[in-house]
Chains A and B, each alone.
Chain A
């Protein structure tokens, strides 16, 4: 456990990608198969400990620590695991059984413990670890590791350690659960390559880069095909020998949340890439509608009926055991179109090509993409591209609609979590509401990104010196700072006092120069929402 903890520390404090890979490789070279599997599952954030949750750890802390001091500390540090690890009163004489436990031992303990035994076990570990190991232990439970390592980097380190092709590893990765025993035994040469042919596995999707101005010259109808960028969530629908699975973009199995799709009896074996949308093919819904279905593990019949879902299919990876990913996109899409025509699935629509004459024509289409239907923009795909995992530069571009911009007034601030820890970096802002007698500021949203580190420090200082009220961790500030806020979309909602909610609001500029009275009004925003 200590070795793994040292690895995580090294990763946090290393900025270079190559150095990170070297650190992981060093750790792999001193670990056994099981340890490697568990460790990578922690780094890739794929480990699940169903019986022990953050809330339980918090409860345990309260029986050893002052609750009020804990809450203040947590607010300051911005991370549960780190707060508890720092504040926990350490035993001086450590029990070897816990202090020297291996990573595998700790995870197996956490996975097999019953709910009633868990508090004692957790307390024993916390008492007997040093601070850094305590932090690692708590991170395993709470998740949210934030050591700056993507699962891609972890897999590269694994592939380099044993000289195995990264793509082969990627392909098989999702077929196994932590600690990926069969997979790692194959990688380190102990066994033959596992056969996953008959399983409905997730395959890493191909991702697009934003289209920059310098890329505009590449785009014309002979080189790139265009499709609408639909405003849903990216999914992968896989069918293998009667086994149907729906995966999220990151490979989470979300089949159970969408039984109207996953219970369908497909005859063919295939793997299809597309967008999950709310509504029906003839009457697609908004992202806001879809949100009512997300993160619901067992949706009721009523909600399935009132907010049905369907798929817009844009790519076909596998069909009848043939891997199409090395074929070019035109060929894949032709196969997809035929497959859908023959299948006549009532809930899968083919993503039609958007024809255009030249780049200017395309730009016009993009600018109008909010008009007839609220598209998120356009997708541009090179006509000669095969299907690659990851985010290769060149073959796929996203060409998004322009965001809306408004001037709002900073009203409240709160300390940030994670990377923004301990600085006031979460901002609630509002706009003017005019009524017959007076003018008041009503909240419309919250933003915590878009500014530079330097601006953050200045904002933090502004908040500390202009505080006029405190509500627990929230500071109310003098109503004097104008923030130019960008957002992708705006909709009616009960969440904020204004009756509106923004999608992905971020700070575009800080208007130190602009008086608050010149900020935008609610009427302006309501017009955007309609």
Chain B
């Protein structure tokens, strides 16, 4: 199939000679953004098109001047940029995350952005949309990645907290999406204790609550204002922090903690060990290998393009199913190097 209105450029994926870009890495005039993770949603663009949740998160992170102008859309609301028709469809990755569905020249191209198929109580589930071209990520694009049901991992966490009442648990989570998903899943399982948070997680949690997602009792994981020594106070407590804080001095204020990490990478034992993780939790906001293949089947595209991740394996698997496939090898989306 010949598509000459989509090109790869330094900035990212370029539509119709620079009319707009998808998740551009450098500042551009018009940016259509799939979700608010920092590597996809960067500040400094002239005009941004995104879901209203994504816009709100960007505002919170980058301040009110994150772009000159923005337009916020609901899911499945049609809009136009010049003569190109678009809408956002849920991607199930984090709050506000969207696939960008473009209809032009009698062709439908869907940019999935980052997505997952497992249940997430903090965002709408991924909607497969039949397309001519499906542009997918392949962060976990290898058959070694088969993420277990995240509920089993939450149960492991709760059991560990109960088993070690004299230690505290510090779990490394991304501040947008993973943190809130884990909190909400714990609440759904009836675990109602106060959850303590590294400062960098607070803002986004408050924002999720504004969107009607009740996260229960949350408090900052401070030490100075506590009536007892931190060692005593944090016994049996759960603390969430960004992954980088685990190896930082920050985590040393809580003596003898159990260090956990919630990530798809925890599948690989030596990778967990390398990070000094005691409690690996395989909870991912990306589709695993089997879910990527399932999604391709449901979208039933004529062609698959892979943005980033382990492209080789996915391209090979598509070709085996007689689906044309190619790698876009976009540099700058960091999910494959994130921990």
Contacts and interface: CB of A to CB of B under 8 A. Distances in A.
A69 B310 contact: no
Contact of B144 (A14, A83, A148, A457): A83
A421 B313 CA distance: 18
B146 interface: yes
B312 A72 contact: yes
A86 B274 contact: no
Contact of B337 (A14, A146, A457): A457
A215 B145 CA distance: 50
Contacts of A65: 143
Interface stretch (A392-400, A460-468, A479-487): A460-468
B272 A13 contact: yes
Chain A contact residues: over half helix, strand or loop, or mixed?
helix
A76 B274 contact: no
A218 interface: no
Interface in B255-303: 265, 267-274, 276-280
B316 interface: yes
A69 B142 contact: yes
Contacts of B265: 422
A464 B144 contact: no
Given A13-B279, A464-B337, A69 B273 contact: no
B317 interface: yes
Interface residues of A, number: 33
B72 interface: no
Contacts of A69: 142-143, 313, 316-317
B270 A418 contact: yes
B280 A13 contact: yes
Contacts of B84: none
A87 B337 contact: no
A464 B335 CA distance: 13
Contact of B278 (A15, A79, A422): A15
B275 to A, nearest CB: 8
Contacts of B142: 69, 72-73, 76
A13 B337 contact: no
Nearest to A19: B278
Nearest to A454: B247
Contacts of B272: 12-13
A87 B140 CA distance: 13
A79 B317 contact: no
B331 interface: yes
Interface string A412-426: 000000111110000
A87 B143 CA distance: 6
A422 B309 CA distance: 12
A490 to B, nearest CB: 31
Nearest to A74: B144
Contacts of B144: 73, 76-77, 82-83, 86-87
A79 B273 CA distance: 14
Interface in B292-339: 310, 312-313, 316-317, 331, 336-337
Interface of B: 142-146, 265, 267-274, 276-280, 310, 312-313, 316-317, 331, 336-337
| A-B pairs with lowest CB-CB distance, top 9 | A86-B144, A421-B270, A73-B144, A72-B313, A13-B278, A73-B142, A87-B143, A87-B144, A12-B273
Given A419-B274, A421-B271, 8 more contacts: A69-B313, A76-B142, A77-B144, A82-B269, A86-B143, A86-B144, A86-B267, A421-B274
18 contacts: A12-B269, A13-B278, A15-B276, A15-B278, A68-B313, A72-B310, A73-B142, A78-B270, A82-B269, A82-B270, A86-B143, A87-B144, A419-B274, A421-B270, A421-B271, A453-B274, A457-B337, A460-B337
